[in-house]
Amino acid sequence: MPWTMALSLFPFPAVRSSQKELIEAVRKAVQEESCLIAHAPTGLGKTAAALVPAVEFALENNLKVFFLTSRQTQHRLAIATLQAMHEISPTFIALDMIGKQTMCLQEASTRLQSGEFSEYCAQVKKDNLCDFYGGTFKKGALTKEATATIDSLKGAVASESIVHESEKCKHCPYEIALQVGKKARVIVADYYHLFHPSIRDAFLAKINASIEESIIIIDEAHNLPDRMRNVLTDMTSSISLSFAIKEAEKFGFDELRERIESFLSCIERLSKNLENREEMLLSKEDILSIFEGEDDLYRVIGELDEAGSLIVEKQQKSHVLRLSHFLSLWLGPDKGFVRILSIKQGKRQPYIQVSYRCLDPSLAAGDVINNAHAAILISGTLVPTDMYRDLLGIKNAREREFPNPFPKTNRLNLIIPGATTKFSQRNDEQFKRLAAISAYIANEVPGNTAIFFPSYDIRDKVNWYFEKICKKTTMLEIPNMQKEEKAELIDRFSSYAKVGAVLLAASSGSFGEGIDLPGDLLKAVVIIGLPLQRPTLEVQALINYFDEKYERGWEYGYVLPAITKTLQNAGRCIRSETDKGIIAFVDERYLWPRYKACFPEDMEPVVSRDFVEEIRTFFSISTS
């Protein structure tokens, strides 16, 4: 398609030079109907750089733009950018689309899991028990009031606005959003809206859209492989099966109760083969053996589904229904998946878990990305780009690695050897060394320091020594923090900017990515060790699978996911062109070629044993 980009929708006073390169790369991708995989560090202005050329092209060629992101903060940033673009040229509508359950105004929706909510929603609509849906449609047609609400929503429409207006007028927010989506040229949504097979098909049908006539922008695309694997993964447990047995008994499904009891007995019998292990591989036949072939299992799945739907009518949620979904997936393919039985520690006692886990994210992502008019994958940690091309099964891709736009003099990247979190060398002596290095850094930094550890367990063992020698106030991240708790800790940590405090967190925890502490709020990030996954059966299966498929199993299945986490941790430090700070990678393994080669080219870390003097010099120059 011949096309001259005008940049008439660019919402800021000037285009930065590095941003201009990204805009040009996006322009080429949408014009040539290809995919762009772009490593674009923080500060490049990637949201506007991706949206402006994509929206301009979509307006001229009658396409839809989907901006997909997994974080609410990015939803807000995208909508704010689109609102600024709309003020320049009010010729399009943009919609912020969040999950149906999140938008639901029914009180029961907050108590249900996603699969249960879908059944509950369908049932209350069928039985005319949802006043919000009833206020939106009458005899299959939109009410006058709903039409008026839809017509009033213009510009870049935030999800909060839709929920607010719908609650005020007694409408279903999700149905109102879908109607706005029919008119919208741009939709900001979650990954699941286009990559979850059943959600995608229903969603696109309701907004009269297609993948082929869409430009898809995938923000924070380093998260996409894991999210895609989760889409095609499911599990059940002895706890869930026990609840399913009680449900079947309560509602008089005696034959199904016996079937579920047989399933529970089967996994209990299989678990005895574990001996002293925590997990073991299963085959499809291990579960099929309790049924009279696949036809019998399909019949049972149908009966479970029907019974579960009836149970949802009575109590909104059903473990019987969840079992139906799990068994449906269990019959899926072997290639690209692994079946595992494991023992997990519950709050009171151990329980058995049986899982069907996807290994290959391309099974969920490949067709969507390859069939779209164009796809733009962007992230500040999308290196190496060829790994993401392979993992996501992308066929026609341009790969670009853009340099960090911030002045090199504003950052000091250090590799500090002399200690490690390597499993075979974990002992009190190592923890003392790690504590000493961390304390030396934190005590020298004129401000706040965040220290990230591979796990909470290692964090606590190092902290036992660290808190005795660190001169600053220390704060500990708590596992599985709620949104309010996280915000409270960030506010408290930020309040110490002038005198300095230390936050000790986990690489994969609440603060590892997705938070901004610009200016003087964070002066140093210290990354202790490598957040390598435990060598579980799933990890080993990933390594074997990617070895067979790409001959890069060790990299794709083990090393690079850990490096991506460390780079996300590192990205918390410098968030603007005026920020100054240090990033220290503390572990001798960062000197090993297989790990050092994973750093972005422009990172240029300095190996230092005299790191205290390096830090003093850096901050004395920065403040002079």
Mean pLDDT for all residues in the chain: 93
3-class DSSP assignment, residue 582: strand
Whole-angstrom Cα distance, residue 146 to residue 171?
Answer: 7
Contacts of 582 (CB under 8 A, 6+ apart): 411, 412, 413, 414, 441, 445, 523, 524, 525, 573, 615, 618
Q: What are the helix (H) ranges across 106-253? A: 114-126, 131-134, 144-152, 159-169, 173-183, 192-195, 197-206, 224-231, 238-250
Most confident of 8-12, 31-35, 561-565: 31-35
pTM metric for this prediction? 0.93
Amino acid 109: pLDDT: 87
Mean pLDDT of 395-399: 94
How much of the chain is in helix, strand and coil states, percent to nearest 5? 50, 15, 30
* Whole-number Å distance between alpha carbons of 116 and 312: 7
Q: Who has greater pLDDT, 41 or 340? A: 340
Which helix (H) or strand (E) segment holds residue 474: the answer is: strand 473-476
Q: pLDDT tens-digit profile of 413-454?
A: 999 999 999 999 999 999 999 999 999 999 999 999 999 999
> What letter would DSSP give residue 393?
T
> 43 pLDDT band (50/70/90 cuts)?
confident
Q: How many CB atoms lie under 10 A from the CB of residue 150? A: 22
For the chain, counts of helices (H) and of strands (E) = 27, 21
Q: Which residues contact 264 (CB under 8 A, 6 or more apart)?
A: 238, 241, 242, 245
CA distance 385 to 397: 10
With bands split at pLDDT 50, 70 and 90, how would you rate the model's confidence at 552?
very high
Q: Tell me the one-letter amino acid at 503.
A: L
Nearest to 198 by CA among 124, 275, 92, 115: 115
Q: What is the pLDDT of residue 74?
A: 84
Crossing angle, helix 254-271 and helix 238-250, to 10 degrees?
Answer: 160
Percent of the chain with pLDDT over 90: 78
- In the chain, the amino acid numbered 95 is L
pLDDT of residue 623: 56
Q: Please report the domains of the chain, with CATH numbers, ordered by start residue.
A: 30-113+130-225+362-401 (3.40.50.300), 234-358 (1.10.275.40), 408-623 (3.40.50.300)
- Is residue 54 within 8 A of residue 82, CB to CB? The reply is no
